[in-house]
Amino acid sequence: MAYDKKNILILIVDDSPLNLRTLGSLLTSEDYKISIAQNGTQALEVAANIMPDLILLDIMMPDIDGIEVCRQLKKKRTQKIYLLFLLLLYQKRKIK
């Protein structure tokens, strides 16, 4: 079954502006429509309003973590939205 990327709406949820820009640029360059949320609370509001086709959801966020956002989404009319969890860990190393 063929689909038109321009009709796919992806919500990116991350508290890192760099991650939002990077994923946003990558997806828009592939002709996907995107929306962003910078925390869990905002993600719940935006998802309920726009009903995206897919949510790329950071697990570790300061207000409501991604696991709790997922739990809350699955209790509402947003329960059929596909979710992918993102886990990006950065480790600084000293170069000797």
Query: If you average pLDDT over residues 61-66, what whole number do you get?
Result: 92
Say what the pLDDT of residue 94 is. 60
Query: If you average pLDDT over residues 83-88, what whole number do you get?
Result: 86
Rounded to the nearest integer, the mean pLDDT of the chain is 90
Residue 64 Cα distances to 37, 67, 96, angstroms: 12, 8, 38
At the top level of CATH, the class of 5-86 is alpha beta
Judge contact between 36 and 57, C-beta under 8 A: no
Is the pTM for the entire model greater than 0.85? Answer: yes
Taking only the tens place, the pLDDT of each residue in 14-43 is 999 999 999 999 999 999 999 999 999 999
Indicate whether 88 pLDDT > 80. Answer: no
Indicate whether 92 pLDDT > 60. Answer: no
Indicate whether 4 pLDDT > 90. Answer: no
Domain boundaries, the chain: 5-86
Neighbours of 50 (CB within 10 A): 12
